[in-house]
Amino acid sequence: MKIYLVDLEAVDTRYTAQWKTHVPQLLRDAGYTVEVISGPEDIPSATTPGAFLNFGGTNIYKAKQVETIGRLFCDGKVAPGDHFIFTDAWHPGIINLKYMSSLLNIPVTIHALWHAGSYDPQDFLGRLIGAAPWVRYAEESFYQAVDHNYFATNFHIEMFVRNLLNDGLNENPWLEEDIADSVNGANHKITRTGWPMEYMVNTLAPYKNMAKRDLILFPHRIAPEKQVEIFRDLADQLPQYEFVVCQDRQLTKTEYHTLLGQAKIVFSANLQETLGISCYEGALVDAIPMVPDRLSYTEMYEDGFKYPSHWTESYLSYIKYRQELCHHIVVTMTHYEKRVELVQQQAQQLTKRFFNANGLLNKLSEYKK
């Protein structure tokens, strides 16, 4: 059993740079033979404004990966029973792989990790393309071609099933119990697993005991669904604290981690989130996650870290409840020291449930039997 790992292009400001080395080693440590399928390194690297990758560059990268997979089949290197893991399910190469595997009668098992898609109305694809038939049919084709579809949270699974598999394009709507089965693990094509980010604890350990200052961070990208305008207004309302939008400063990873280590709060008013890595990073260095009670945050965080969702459901909603949110921030900052132990407990829970790849590894282990 050989694993072909179809990786993501490395973006220094994202986790994808770490995944380049961590995920192959994780699989090898579990006893698997791994061959990484990468694209060219000389692709345009500047991310499309408001997005997390370069929309042109990512297709150059993926096209080279498809070429490599084709040559592996042509050279007779892919064997029946091999496995392919796509670290991003939004990859046209999944269809190419299924085509070659089926027509050449070389059965392989396909795994893919879902990060986002048009089925999320607040995601880039959802906002710009929406429910256009071509994108919805493409995403459902990816899902159907993949043997094991992985999601980091139950929130993401339910949204995926409701908005994509059960939308108006589907002639056979899912029953509520079928949707529940998908969330509860009864659907053999859907698996909830934490993301392979076991390295984060050690990566951030040097920043954990830094001297704190009255600093509040906005660690998200600047995009409409992240509602940075709310954070900027909070900065005007609470001048006694330092508010920093990380993307305003073009930070290196080291500079970003240093700010996390110095911060007391990492703030979110997000309208789109299927996991939320930056708030977890904050918790690892004792910065209090302050998140709305919606999206993936609802299942991930204890009540003490969540504020009422309606406070920031829109900018107008925020204006209505601005006084309540400002008061909440002041109280949290004032009693920061009393919350540190709770933050550490929350970080441990997040690591155990959402930031390790045990679900993926357990699924792979079923094929060893």
Contact 215, 242 (CB under 8 A): yes
38-47, 275-284, 331-340: segment of lowest average pLDDT: 38-47
- How far is the CA of 240 from the CAs of 120, 169, 231, 331, in angstroms? 37, 52, 14, 13
pLDDT surpassing 80 at residue 17: yes
User: Out of 26-40, 127-141, 278-292, which region has the weakest mean confidence (pLDDT)?
Assistant: 127-141
Looking at residue 353, what is its pLDDT? 97
CA 104 vs. chain centroid, Å, equals 34
> Going from the N-terminus, what domains does the chain have, and what CATH number goes with each?
2-196+356-365 (3.40.50.2000), 200-354 (3.40.50.2000)
pLDDT band at 165 (very low <50, low <70, confident <90, very high): confident
Mean pLDDT of the chain: 94
Instruction: Look at residue 355 and tell me whether its pLDDT is greater than 90.
Output: yes
SS (H, E, C) the chain: CEEEEECCCCCCCCCHHHHHHHHHHHHHHCCCEEEEECCCCCCCCCCCCCCCCCCCHHHHHHHHHHHHHHHHHHCCCCCCCCEEEECCCCCCHHHHHHHHHHHCCCCCEEEEECCCCCCCCCCHHHHHCCCCHHHHHHHHHHHHHCCEEEECCHHHHHHHHHHHHCCCCCCCCCCHHHHHHHHHCCCCCEEECCCCCCCHHHHHHHHCCCCCCCEEEECCCCCHHHCHHHHHHHHHHCCCCEEEEHHHHCCCHHHHHHHHHHCCEEECCCCCCCCCHHHHHHHHCCCEEEEECCCCHHHHCCHHHEECHHHHCCHHHHHHHHHHHHHHHHHHHHCHHHHHHHHHHHHHHHHHHHCCCHHHHHHHHCCCC
Cβ proximity of 195 and 116 under 8 Å: no
What's the token pair of residue 61? 């990268």
Q: Cα 20–25–27 angle (5° rounding)?
A: 110
The answer to whether 236 and 318 are in contact (CB under 8 A) is: no
In this predicted structure, what is the pLDDT of residue 259? 98
Q: Which tens digits make up the pLDDT trace of 290-337?
A: 999 999 999 999 999 999 999 999 999 999 999 999 999 999 999 999
Output the pLDDT for position 166: 82
Q: Is the pLDDT of residue 51 over 70?
A: no
pLDDT for the residue 124: 83
185 CB contacts (<8 Å, ≥6 apart)? 191, 192
Q: In the predicted model, is pLDDT for residue 52 greater than 70?
A: no
Mean pLDDT for 70-91 is 98
**Distances in Å between the alpha carbon of 55 and those of 48, 141, 261?**
6, 20, 32
pLDDT digits (tens, 9 = 90+) for 185-224: 878 999 999 999 999 999 999 999 999 999 999 999 999 9
Give the pLDDT score at 173.
67
Please, how many CA atoms are within 13 Å of residue 71, restricted to the half-sphere of its CB? Answer: 7
CB atoms within 10 A of CB 80: 9
d(CA 219, CA 270): 11
* Tens-digit pLDDT profile for residues 167-189: 755 666 676 777 787 888 878 99
**pTM, rounded to two decimals:** 0.94
Contacts of residue 355, defined as CB under 8 A and 6 or more positions apart, other chains included, come to 194, 195, 197, 198, 200, 280
- Between 52 and 225, residue with greater pLDDT: 225
**Mean predicted confidence (pLDDT) in 117-121:** 94
Q: Give the CA count within 13 Å in the CB-facing half-sphere of 128.
A: 9
pLDDT at 57 over 80: yes
What percentage of the chain carries pLDDT values higher than 70?
95
User: What whole-number distance in Å separates Cα of residue 92 and Cα of residue 63?
Assistant: 8
Quote the tokens at residue 166. 């059960």
Q: Residue 146 class from Cβ within 10 Å (0-12 exposed, 13-18 middle, 19+ buried)?
A: buried
